[in-house]
Structure 1
């Protein structure tokens, strides 16, 4: 099953995931270390985008693959995205412990679709 998520960029050029059910500090929702630059691409350099995320393949989805788990240190992990909309990009990004909150665990693969 896939779920749609909203991401937004603040006037300070910081990307965040919009997770109303998150009760911890908003700073944990910031997208950094490659996730921010991937969102610049996905948003076509605007200040908002909607992505469909799922743990199973779906039509026209790209995949990010867990390259290094950081659960025993800072949380989350480094993920590798080979393609974006079918074009090779070889992009690495850190997805923090919020990923574990969203999916209930740190997935080996996350499929991404674009709105």
Structure 2
């Protein structure tokens, strides 16, 4: 699966993934526990970005690696983004069960490429 996703920050400084097909509570779409910090960094500290994501490698992608599977407890998993465009960031983040919804599994690695940031 390779798809582009829109992430946006609300006036309250809360990041969300834009998933129009999501049928459950919008609160589950909020990026928290490090994912929000990662989005601040990769968006250039703006309020929106488009991120191409895949569970298979592609040219120009950075890697977010699963470091702890939490499917049997709270859902999702803890991930680590070691670099962004060649610069060390070492950003840990929890990606919730929405990750499982998007990928139909909890990938060992997620490949990402920020293709647009809005200032």
Residue in structure 1 matched with residue 31 of structure 2 by the alignment: 31
Cα displacement (A) at 1:49: 0.3
CA–CA distance in structure 1, aligned partners of residues 44 and 88 of structure 2: 17
RMSD of aligned C-alpha atoms? 0.7
- Paired residues, what number? 115
Matched, 1:86 2:93: no
Name stretches of at least 5 consecutive residues in structure 1 with no aligned partner: none
| SS of residue in 2 equivalent to 1:40 | helix
Residue in structure 2 matched with residue 114 of structure 1 by the alignment: 114
Post-superposition Cα deviations, 1:11-34, rounded to whole Å, max 9, x if no partner, equal 000000000010000000000011
Residue in structure 2 matched with residue 3 of structure 1 by the alignment: 3
Matches within 5 A, 1:63-102: 63-102=63-102
Q: Which runs of at least 4 in structure 1 moved beyond 4 Å after TM superposition? A: none
Cα displacement (A) at 1:91: 1.2
| SS of residue in 2 equivalent to 1:41 | helix
The two structures have a TM-score, normalised by structure 2, of 0.94
The two structures have a TM-score, normalised by structure 1, of 0.97
Residue in structure 2 matched with residue 40 of structure 1 by the alignment: 40
CA–CA distance in structure 2, aligned partners of residues 43 and 102 of structure 1: 21
